Amino acid sequence: MAQNGGGKGWKTDPKSGEKAMPDRWATFLDWLLLGLDRSPATQKEWAAENDVHEDSLRRWKRDARFVREWDRRAAELNVHPERTQRVIDSLFAQASQGDVKAASLYLQYVEKFTPKRRLVVDDERDALGLSDAELADELEALVAEFRPKEVFGGVAEGDGEGDVGSVV
pLDDT in tens, 72-109: 888 887 777 777 888 889 999 999 999 999 999 988 88
Which whole number is the average pLDDT over 56-77?
A: 90
Angle at 132 between CA 129 and CA 134, to 5 degrees: 70
Would you say 32 and 70 are in contact if contact means Cβ atoms under 8 Å apart? yes
Where does residue 102 fall: left (phi above 0), alpha (psi -120 to 50 degrees), or beta otherwise? Answer: alpha
The residue ranking higher by pLDDT, 22 or 78, is: 22
Q: What is the pLDDT of residues 121-133, one digit of tens each?
A: 666 667 777 888 9
Name the residue ranges covered by the structural domains of the chain: 11-78, 81-111
The length of the chain, given as a count of residues = 168
